[in-house]
Every structure is written in C-alpha cells, then in structure tokens.
Structure 1
Amino acid sequence: MGGGDSKLAGPDLAVGIGIGELADGAMLVGHAHGEAVLVARRGREVFAIGATCTHYGGPLAEGLRVGDTVRCPWHHACFSLRTGEAVRAPALNPVACFDVEQREGKLYVLGKRAPEAKRAPAGAPESVVIVGAGAAGNAAAEMLRREGYSGKVTMVGADPALPCDRPNLSKDYLAGTAPEEWIPLRSPDFYEAQTIDLRLGAQVERIEPEARQVVFADGTRLGYGALLLATGAEPVRLQIPGATLPHVRYLRSLGDCRAIISRCEHAKKAVVVGASFIGLEVAASLRARGLEVAVVAPENKPLERIMGTELGDFLRALHEEHGVVFHLGHTAHRIDEKAVILDDGASLDADLVVVGIGVRPNVELAERAGLMIERGVRVDAYLKTSSPGIWAAGDIARWPDPHTGQNIRIEHWVVAERHGQIAALNMLGRATVCDVVPFFWSQHYDVPIAYVGHAERWDRIDVSGSLAQRDATLAFRAGDKTLAIATLGRDLQSLEAERAIEMGKGTVP
C-alpha cells in the first residue's frame, strides 16, 4: 500500500554501534543484513525491529515510543518492540524482530527472531461466525488466528469482492494513482491458508440467538459458538426525481468505485452531492482524473459541523485552488440525464453524479434478533451485545467510551478494525476493554488531515501554527478539557495527543 523509502540509511547495526549512541528512550534507524532496522532503548533493554510500518510504509522512527511499543506517525498503527507484532490496526502484518547483543560497550543487531506461536485459552468457543467482511470482520478473523484459535471461523460478506482497503477507494485508487492490486486486504490464498471459511456474496436473513444459528437467504443454517455482527453501514440515498439514473453513483464498495472509474472514461463534468469527507475526497480524485467538478451541499462551509469554521474555510479554499466549484447553501432538487437542478433553479451540467450525504448503520439483523438498539447496536465495554454469545463491532456498535463518559458510535476505518480485534480477544476470554481513542485521516490532494478524539460539540477551537502553510493543530475544547485534535503536517503531535487522551489528561497541548 504505498511504500516508504527502501534505500538503506544510517549505521550498519550488524557491525555494531556504541551503546552511548542510543540514549535511554531514544530510537535510531540503521540497517542490518540488507534491511532497514529500528533500534530503541528502554533503560537497559534494547530492541530491534523492522523500521517500516506494514500498513502504508510509514517511517516508524518518526513515530512515538510508548513503553515497549512504537506507533506509526502516518495512521497510528502500533507495533511491539519485543516481538514485532502489529498490536493495533490499521497494520495487520508484523514487522521483523531481531535479536540484539550488547558486548564491550557496543550494540549488535543479530539475525531475525522467529515469531512465538500462541495458543487459545481453554474454554474458547467451538466455532465463530462473523457476519460482515469489512474492516471489523476481517480484523476479527485475523486476530482469532493470530491468537492461536484453531476452531472453525466463518466470515460472511454480502459483497462479492474480497475484504478491501476501503479508505483507498475515495483516495488514490479513485484518483488513478494506486493500482487495484493494492485494494484487497488479503489474497484468496491467505484465507485458505488461515482456514477462514470466506463466504462472499452471501446474505444472512436472520439470527436465532437461542439456537445459536444464523439463517441465510437461501434457507441454509450455520451454527456458532460465538457470533460477531460487523454489518457496517450503507450510504444514505437521495430521494429526488432522477436519483436512480445510471450516472448517479454512490461510493461504499470496490464495485461502486469501479463503476465510477468506468464512468470517468467518458465523462467531462461531475457533480458531487454532499461536502462530507467522502464527497470532498471524491471531488479531489475526480479532479486528478481531469473532470470538471462542482460540489453541492446545504451547509455554508464544508465540514463545519464536524471540523469547525477554520478547517472548513481552509478545505474550501484548497479545493477551489484545484478548480472545484462550490454551490453551498443549496440542495439538489432533481437530476436529469445531463444536469443536476438545484433548489434555486440553477442547472449544473453533469455526465457523472456522485452522492456522499452520509451513511446509516445496518442494524436490521440485530434488531430482528431482539438485541438492544440505541442508534446502533448497544454493547458493553467488551463489545458484547445484550444477547449471550454475540458481539458487535465497527460502524454499528455503540459502546461506552471511557474517555468521554458517553455511549458513542463511530464510523472510522481504524476504529472498526480495532473493534474487530478487541471483540476477537474477548471471544477467547482475554477480557479486553474497548478503550479505543477514535482516529481517522483524510486526504485532499497532497494535504493529509489527522484527527484523534471525539467531539460532537465544543466551546471553542484553538488553532496553533498556520493552516495556510499546512502546519497546524486545531484543538477542540469544552471548558478546559480537550475533546479532539486535528493536525496538518504534525504527525508526532497527533500521536502525542492520542496518548494524552488515553492517559486521561484533560488538556492536550
């Protein structure tokens, strides 16, 4: 998925460096045996792991060390310095781990250490069924196997495509700068090797909690010892004349993205309905393909309700610099074969219309099964639903957030993956509390925005740095408490803010 610089740099760690060259608490990048290696010191202990994040190739040395882990500066993946294990999504693969020797005042990086096999605890469920093959479902299936679970794992996806890297669908892949081979999270061979029974294009009709069975649309049944509901969300559909015309598209799946790309081959003018993150990322990607793009949205500033006035103004200006034309304070009234007609009668030429006006969680299965619903599926601190043996994760789950003291539901990719991992651990009896600090990133041309925390309402936004220079921090505060932090060009500060929220610090710098 993209990649860091493969060029080796820094000292040859196999030859050795002086112990004094690596201060306590410091990290250093060098190389050993033809690979980039990160060494980190914690007191008398020295660790050595691969230097590049396995998610998108981020430089781990520019990240944040927390105890015996290191966090990637790009998308907040976390790796164990002791084992190289990918402790937290979005990275799913480990990095290499090397033995280190200290002698005669020098440090030497030796050969790679073989990963330790884990064994699932006694009392693990006989089988696990995962309904949903998106971020949460896939992460759960992989975590079960990583933790040594040997029982039957079945993952059911309504989409016929393999679990895919959904954030990329509105970014590089749609823009034409990422090949399709980057998009699947895993190959079919991976699921076969992991003995994960992947059933794609399959529809679960209902769940029978007392019988511990799921019933498919064709009437077949499948029993489970534990069940994870990870059914995700569906785009909100426009309810106006012309909304079902073939050139009106939504973006949620790989199939959706392929359909938009196909339309781009003959389209010259596009209208994006909605100034959401998805809408604006789509606008940027369509501009990269050379289309003229107009954005229609009822709000006066893009993303003002979520990100505030300052960032909304910045994003509008950024998109306008790239030729996007905004029609804010307006809605689409109807769609014709070649135009979108606005509520004020204005007509916008459109060979392609992409709608991004929000999503709704797919809670119908849970509701029919009698699970507790609270604008999502209500779960406890361990992501367990109101029905024994059933967990919920990802876009549908509303969980008690220890950082805000509220029950929250979040529609972020990284949150969904971490939910899946936590649910899997709890199915195995590992008693893992969901204390995830929400994180997401958004890409607009060459400008990434990172956001940590959760702020539905705030008293003020404190801005430091310069948005114009793309080097800024925006702190969303209620009284003296920092609820969330958005950053541009300040990856390390984003990680530090995440850590501060985890630690319960009221004010984040």
Structure 2
Amino acid sequence: MSADKTPGGPDLAAGIELNALAEGEMITGHVGKKAVLLARSGGDFHAVGARCTHYGAPLGDGLIVDDTLRCPWHHACFSLRSGEALAAPALDGLACWKTEVVGDRVIVRERAEPGPKRHPARSPSSVVIVGGGAAGEAAAEMLRREGYTGPVTIVSDDAAPPCDRPNLSKDYLAGKAKAAWLPLRGDDFYAQHDITLRLTTEVAAIEPEASRLRLADGETLDYGALLLATGAEPVRLPVPGAELPHVHTLRSQADSEALIAAVEAGARRAVVVGASFIGLEVAASLRERGLEVRVVAPEARPLERVLGETLGDFIRELHESKGVVFHLEERVASITADMVELEGGQRLDADLVVVGIGVRPRTALAEAAGLAVDDGVWVSDTLETSMPGIYAAGDSARWPDPISGERVRIEHWTVAQRQGQRAARNILGAGDARAAVPFFWSQHYDIGINYVGHATHWERIETDGDPAAHDFTARFIAEDRLLAVATIFRDRESLEAEAEMEARQRAGQ
C-alpha cells in the first residue's frame, strides 16, 4: 500500500449507523489515511489501529474476547479500551481513537491520549534478568510499562541483542527476511527506556544469600529481584564426527548466519538430523535456497508425537512434494567431512549437516545456587522459584499447567514472552497466577500450523477438514477434556479454541 493511498472501508470520521455493528462485531475503515478498526463490546464502541504490531496481520480477521482483540495470525492480544498490547508476541500497542455517538451514528474523529502512568505495588531496589531471549526481553519491557523506575539490567552471553528467534529457521534462513528485521528493538530502545543491556557477558554463579551475581570476569552485580530466563541449549549428536565444522545446530542468530554463510560458500547437499519442528523448518528453508535436503529421524512419522498421524503424514507429504527425502526409523552412526553414515549402513552425501534433535534447559546456575531443579527450574504459579525473590520464565522454567494438570516445561517463543511479562508483573507485586494458554506456530513453505494448548498424550484426536486442502482442524482430547487444537488456515477457530481454554481455566475446570 502506498503512503498516500487511503485505506479501504467506511470513512469512520463520517460515522456509521449504530445498528451496523452488533455486540461483539467489528469493522475496518479509516480516519483520513489511517486504517482504523471499530468494535462494539460491552455495550461500548472502541476504535484502535487495524493492523497487528507484530507482523501486520489484519485485526479485522481476529476475534473479540470480552474487551480484548486477538490477532488472527499469532494470537497477540490487545485492549480494545486503550490499545495496549496485553499479551505477546506483539510488544507495541495499537493507536487508540476516541468514539462519539451522535444521534443514530457512531463517529471516530481523533486520537485518544495515553492513559495515566502506572505505579507498581512493589519496587525492588533493582531487577537483574539473566538471559536476552524472549522471556528476558519481554520482562524488561514490562517492568518499564508497569511504571518501575529502578535499575533494570539484562545480562546475556549472546553477542547479538534480543532478536526475533522464530524467524531464524523460517524466513531469515530461507533468504526472504532481511537481517535488519531480526532485532526485536532498535539500538536506541534500551537507552531510551533506561534498560542496561550487557551482551557477551557470562554469569558464573548466583549468590542468593547476598542477593548477588558473580560474573565470569570476576565482577559482581547486586540485585533486588532476579529473573532467570536462561533458556535452553541444543542437544548435541553423540556420534563420531559430530564436532566437525560443517555440523551445525540452530538456536541463535549467529547459528543461523553460520548456516547462511555455508550455503553462500557453496554447500549444496544437506542432511538434517531430526524431524522436529526446528529440523523441518530448516529443511524447508534450505530447500527454498535450492539445496538437496535429506531428513534422518528415528520415528516412523514426523511430528506424530506432537501432532498425531494425520498431520504427521501431511507434513511428510508436503516436504516430499518439495523434494525433501526422508530416512525415517534411522539413526546417524557417524559423520565425515562429506558423508553421513546411518546405522542401517546407508551413506548420504553431505557438505552441510544440521542437528535438530531437541534442546535441554540451561539450569546449571539455578542448581548450583540451591534452587529446586528437575528438568527445568521449578516455579510456582506466580513463576517464583523455591527461593523468594528469584523468578524463572521461558524454556528453562517448569511450571504448573492448569489445562493439563501437570507440571510442564514448554519450549515455545510466545509462551516464553508471556511468562516474561507475567514474571515482571509479579516481581512488582501483581500476584498474577493465571498461566496463559500455550500457543505456537510453525511454518513449512507457504503452510502455517497454529497450535494452542498442550497435549503430551491423548485418548483420541477429532479431525475436521483436509490438511492437503489447507483447511484442517485437529482436536486432542483425553477424558472428554480438550487439551490442544492444531489448525491449518483456520485462524478464527484457533482463536476460539484459545478463548474456550481460557474460560475453562477461569472456571477452574
């Protein structure tokens, strides 16, 4: 859309008839050259920006839940009353407009002023965040949004600032996204918000009795409250040759850039070890760059453990239709400079190997400090660890999930962001014990799969539609309880499933 083109839909400055919008409905129009969404909720009219601030999705295709507006693509949540971004992956709010009822018409004329500044119930002397990933970055932002004025420091052992990690295996690796799109914030954001970002900085130990961190260079850093957002690290392949320079994992921006460099240096035959989400997204991206790609995995069907048979078969057929060759029910025996040997004896030519066989939580700091650890740092429903004043969020945290009734650790980007936001609010005394419904999306070529909920096991899967027609829903059920829903191009149904799970959570069911 060119900068001087007026968006479509009705001119909301001229107004629309009141009966044109029923309760719970919305319409996208414009005020001057600004696209504006007008919604009716709770008997009131609300007007906000019409595009999601995450990836620009049209919010008119989303869902109204109470006084919130949900993005159809990646489930960001905004307040209809203020435009505030209430839940990630969107971090910025929407523009908010004043509405006025004149006679039998509702009119949108001018921008609303921001709401009053907030004042936290509790203000620790300082907050230190260990980890510059999804949870850590979102927590730092939320501390400032909630009105905290004390020192905020992010300590990250990464050389790159917090980035859009889901893009690393998707559009960026495929060559369709620019490097400039990766940072979550511009260089000046952290200075403007008085957030100290210490990159390439390793924490050697937590000293809880002194409320202090000891850094690898010997420096110490005091904290009033501490958030551990240390994330996870890729599992390494325990076979001869796994440490060769052409064998890669993908977790950081540097990892993705190393893969791109290998392709640009002439790699043409890739073997992806592991039919995980990350492995298959890498396979798709490398195919889009023209490489020959083979996938080696021990299971009989890719992603069956997470998505079931029907979707597993579809994903395999989709990748095969793009030229990917699968070697299933196979394991890698060894790797040489130009070959991957399988346990079954087959040898696959390879000048690039990518290992995507899972991750393990980074819990060494927490364990050494005496925190409760068992496949992740154990946290309460407010994300506080076994030591008061120390919180954990993201891939390294293991938390009580009200949907499944189990203690879980979920390695999803949006889950980590939302936990970081909730941990920040709780550090400031909010006492928020409401876990967000887990959500993730996975991209394979031009097909996106949305998944809400969490199902480690199920008794049955109810399906509707045809994945090959790119129109499909799978509902994972145990004991007549809906645990998760996976959809292909059924954005509204995915949002409705999330809202259903939220309502059930609130009701304690």
TM tier, smaller: over 0.9
SS of 2:210's partner is coil
Q: 1:167–1:386: structure 2 CA closer, same or farther, 3 Å change rule?
A: same
1:81-230 aligned at under 5 Å gives the runs 81-230=80-229
1:451-462 aligned at under 5 Å gives the runs 451-462=451-462
In the alignment, the residues of structure 2 paired with residue 346 and residue 392 of structure 1 have an alpha-carbon distance, to the nearest angstrom, of 44
In the alignment, the residues of structure 2 paired with residue 172 and residue 423 of structure 1 have an alpha-carbon distance, to the nearest angstrom, of 30
CA contact (8 A) 1:215 1:221 kept: yes
SS of 1:242's partner is coil
Please state how far the C-alpha of 1:505 moved relative to its aligned partner.
7.9
Q: Which amino acid aligns with 1:166?
A: R
Q: Where in structure 1 are there 5+ consecutive unaligned residues? A: none
Q: 1:69–1:122: structure 2 CA closer, same or farther, 3 Å change rule?
A: closer
Please state how far the C-alpha of 1:24 moved relative to its aligned partner.
1.8
1:432-443 aligned at under 5 Å gives the runs 432-443=432-443
Q: Deviations over 1:302-343 (max 9, x none)?
A: 011111111111000000000000000111111111111111
CA contact (8 A) 1:120 1:428 kept: no
CA contact (8 A) 1:437 1:501 kept: yes
CA contact (8 A) 1:419 1:434 kept: no
SS of 1:503's partner is helix
Please state how far the C-alpha of 1:43 moved relative to its aligned partner.
4.3
Please state how far the C-alpha of 1:19 moved relative to its aligned partner.
1.2
SS of 1:424's partner is helix
Match of 2:267 in 1: 267
SS of 1:29's partner is strand
CA contact (8 A) 1:460 1:478 kept: yes
CA contact (8 A) 1:50 1:95 kept: yes
In the alignment, the residues of structure 2 paired with residue 234 and residue 69 of structure 1 have an alpha-carbon distance, to the nearest angstrom, of 35
Match of 2:487 in 1: 487
CA contact (8 A) 1:383 1:434 kept: no
Q: 1:122–1:455: structure 2 CA closer, same or farther, 3 Å change rule?
A: closer
Please state how far the C-alpha of 1:120 moved relative to its aligned partner.
2.6
Which segment drifts farther, 127-136 or 341-350?
A: 341-350
SS of 1:311's partner is helix
Match of 1:287 in 2: 287
Please state how far the C-alpha of 1:123 moved relative to its aligned partner.
3.2
Q: Which amino acid aligns with 1:474?
A: A
Please state how far the C-alpha of 1:479 moved relative to its aligned partner.
2.6
Please state how far the C-alpha of 1:430 moved relative to its aligned partner.
1.1
In the alignment, the residues of structure 2 paired with residue 117 and residue 241 of structure 1 have an alpha-carbon distance, to the nearest angstrom, of 61
Match of 1:330 in 2: 330
In the alignment, the residues of structure 2 paired with residue 44 and residue 350 of structure 1 have an alpha-carbon distance, to the nearest angstrom, of 62
CA contact (8 A) 2:127 2:224 kept: yes
Please state how far the C-alpha of 1:468 moved relative to its aligned partner.
1.5
Which segment drifts farther, 124-133 or 106-115?
A: 106-115
Q: Deviations over 1:396-442 (max 9, x none)?
A: 11111122221111000000000000000001111111421110000
Q: Deviations over 1:152-187 (max 9, x none)?
A: 000011101010000000000000001111100011
In the alignment, the residues of structure 2 paired with residue 431 and residue 43 of structure 1 have an alpha-carbon distance, to the nearest angstrom, of 27
Q: Does 1:278 pair with 2:272?
A: no
In the alignment, the residues of structure 2 paired with residue 459 and residue 66 of structure 1 have an alpha-carbon distance, to the nearest angstrom, of 30
In the alignment, the residues of structure 2 paired with residue 472 and residue 91 of structure 1 have an alpha-carbon distance, to the nearest angstrom, of 26
Match of 2:424 in 1: 424
Q: Which amino acid aligns with 1:73?
A: P
Q: Deviations over 1:232-280 (max 9, x none)?
A: 0000001111111111111000000000000011111110000000000
In the alignment, the residues of structure 1 paired with residue 129 and residue 114 of structure 2 have an alpha-carbon distance, to the nearest angstrom, of 27
1:298-317 aligned at under 5 Å gives the runs 298-317=298-317
Match of 1:12 in 2: 11
In the alignment, the residues of structure 2 paired with residue 7 and residue 313 of structure 1 have an alpha-carbon distance, to the nearest angstrom, of 45
Match of 2:360 in 1: 360
Q: Does 1:389 pair with 2:376?
A: no
In the alignment, the residues of structure 2 paired with residue 240 and residue 421 of structure 1 have an alpha-carbon distance, to the nearest angstrom, of 40
Please state how far the C-alpha of 1:150 moved relative to its aligned partner.
0.5
Q: Which amino acid aligns with 1:478?
A: A
In the alignment, the residues of structure 2 paired with residue 21 and residue 309 of structure 1 have an alpha-carbon distance, to the nearest angstrom, of 45
RMSD (Å), alpha carbons: 1.4
SS of 2:248's partner is strand
Q: Does 1:449 pair with 2:446?
A: no
Match of 1:39 in 2: 38
SS of 2:365's partner is helix
In the alignment, the residues of structure 1 paired with residue 443 and residue 451 of structure 2 have an alpha-carbon distance, to the nearest angstrom, of 12
Please state how far the C-alpha of 1:143 moved relative to its aligned partner.
0.2
In the alignment, the residues of structure 1 paired with residue 120 and residue 246 of structure 2 have an alpha-carbon distance, to the nearest angstrom, of 52
SS of 1:115's partner is coil
Q: Which amino acid aligns with 2:131?
A: G
In the alignment, the residues of structure 2 paired with residue 373 and residue 347 of structure 1 have an alpha-carbon distance, to the nearest angstrom, of 41
In the alignment, the residues of structure 1 paired with residue 305 and residue 64 of structure 2 have an alpha-carbon distance, to the nearest angstrom, of 33
Q: Does 1:370 pair with 2:362?
A: no
CA contact (8 A) 2:301 2:328 kept: yes
Q: Which amino acid aligns with 2:78?
A: F
In the alignment, the residues of structure 2 paired with residue 247 and residue 307 of structure 1 have an alpha-carbon distance, to the nearest angstrom, of 31
The size of the alignment, in residue pairs, is: 503
CA contact (8 A) 2:296 2:332 kept: yes
Q: Which amino acid aligns with 2:202?
A: Q
Match of 2:52 in 1: 53
In the alignment, the residues of structure 1 paired with residue 42 and residue 378 of structure 2 have an alpha-carbon distance, to the nearest angstrom, of 43
CA contact (8 A) 2:6 2:30 kept: no
In the alignment, the residues of structure 1 paired with residue 207 and residue 434 of structure 2 have an alpha-carbon distance, to the nearest angstrom, of 26
CA contact (8 A) 2:249 2:355 kept: yes
Please state how far the C-alpha of 1:10 moved relative to its aligned partner.
0.5
Please state how far the C-alpha of 1:121 moved relative to its aligned partner.
2.5
Q: Deviations over 1:222-241 (max 9, x none)?
A: 10110000000000001111
Match of 2:71 in 1: 72
In the alignment, the residues of structure 2 paired with residue 33 and residue 113 of structure 1 have an alpha-carbon distance, to the nearest angstrom, of 15
SS of 2:501's partner is helix
